[in-house]
Chains A and B, each alone.
Chain A
């Protein structure tokens, strides 16, 4: 990934310097006044993209755990509740769910006598978190189930209750197996946050769309857009690798 990035920058810069009539890098050339304004405009969506993704990921990580725990229960009906949630939520494509949450959910609230306006920001956060939580739940389930049953039994014999067993024995061990796929999900959220543009959220993709409409330079503008996501994802990847190394060093047997 890094190599591609290193390769792309010079290509863009070189192309920007060229005077070929088919390329119009001037629209995002930071050396010109107009280009610099455009670049700043495009980058101004970064904050919301990051904020939406981070909040959605945090909610999804919490909700995912809550959804996953019933799957590990001995009680059948709890496992069924989990299955229904996962299968149902996982089956809905993101875009329709986004429309449903943004346009539909306020009506549901209204019919219950509550006035809960949903703005594009929270519409996007709720949709991403909800959609992702089904996947996070499955990741937790697999991670927790991969810890040997003897660990739970040993915890029980020294008097720990269910929550203590999870908190002190199972989750600390499962987290190492859970973290890499969770990071994948976070990357997925960052990319899917682009859908928020269709309900009017002024994030990266929406900014690019708006600029394309005024500048008629889709190639150059969308190229920069792609790069913006690439940089975000590379930063996340590096962060996760650092975290994994740190935890690995901590727990090496």
Chain B
């Protein structure tokens, strides 16, 4: 991992008096895949949401692709243009067709021509295997299809980094694999990814670095081989035994 894509140094965040993130240090190299897991309420989503300023951190430093994330709207805009995000609830725009969902950003935020944006959108819809749904509305698609559209929507902005906030947690079980397949494909093509998920099979397959969080801190991190085989901390061991039981 030659270059650093994302660097978090001593990041702290409070919701009111509740200390959600405690001294988070995390480095993500270009092309690296980081999987964050941990019990609910441990702050894993908040970490990811801080990286593109959906949440504001109060202390510490976040640097994405050489740009430090500050209150300056320019820095926020610069970082958001490099960072794509896939949400648990898809957050597709229900009043627009699939194609319009994909072209909105490129046309309005990037000033791309309608024709170019459409061509690019179709290209990414092919990549997530649903070009035939282009003119439907999100509500007419299954959950798995919606999440793949959401991934394609992020890709249309050609981000350097993709953040995934529990991308399969809202899906029916039979639809999880179609989304994970797309994510594995992206990983193989060298996309830098930070994924919050409980899908440990996926994690084993693609992760370069596993991060375990609990109560707002990173308890443990390391390559998946050692992480799964020999977790160092009790908390991590307990968590893994609970989710890997079945």
Interface residues of A (CB under 8 A from B): 148, 150-151, 153-161, 164, 168-169, 172-173, 251, 253
Chain B 67-82 interface mask (CB, 8 Å, partner A; 1/0) = 0000000000100110
Residue of B nearest to A250 (CB): B95
Which of B89, B93, B137, B154 contacts A157 (CB under 8 A)? B154
**Interface contact A253-B157, CB-CB below 8 Å:** no
Residues of B within 8 A of A164 (CB): 108-109
Which B residue sits closest to A165, measured CB to CB? B108
Q: Are B81 and A159 in contact (CB under 8 A)?
A: yes
Q: In the complex, how many angstroms separate the beta carbon of B105 from the nearest chain A beta carbon?
A: 3
Q: Are B157 and A158 in contact (CB under 8 A)?
A: yes
Complex contacts, A169 vs chain B, CB 8 Å: 93, 104
Name A's interface SS.
helix
**3 tightest A-B contacts by CB?**
A253-B139, A158-B105, A159-B109
Beta-carbon contact of A157 and B83 below 8 Å: yes
Contact pick for B84, options A155, A157, A161, A172, CB 8 Å = A157
Q: Is the CB of A253 within 8 A of B91?
A: no
Number of A-B contacts (CB under 8 A): 69
B92 interface neighbour in A154, A157, A161, A172, Cβ under 8 Å: A154
Other A-B contacts than A151-B93, A155-B93, 16 sampled, CB-CB below 8 A, are A154-B87, A154-B150, A156-B53, A156-B80, A157-B54, A157-B83, A157-B154, A158-B104, A158-B105, A159-B105, A159-B110, A160-B108, A160-B109, A168-B108, A169-B93, A253-B140
Q: How large is the interface on B (under 10, 10 to 19, 20 to 34, 35 or more residues)?
A: 20 to 34
Query: In the complex, are the beta carbons of B91 and A159 less than 8 A apart?
Result: no
* Nearest CB on B from A142, distance (A): 18
CB distance from A174 to the nearest CB of B (A): 10
- B residues with a Cβ closer than 8 A to A are 52-54, 77, 80-81, 83-85, 87, 89, 91-95, 104-105, 108-110, 137-140, 150, 153-154, 156-157
Asked if B95 and A172 sit within 8 Å, CB to CB, the answer is yes
Does A168 lie within 8 Å of B94, measured CB to CB?
Answer: no
Q: Which residues of A contact B91 (CB under 8 A)?
A: 148, 150-151, 153-154
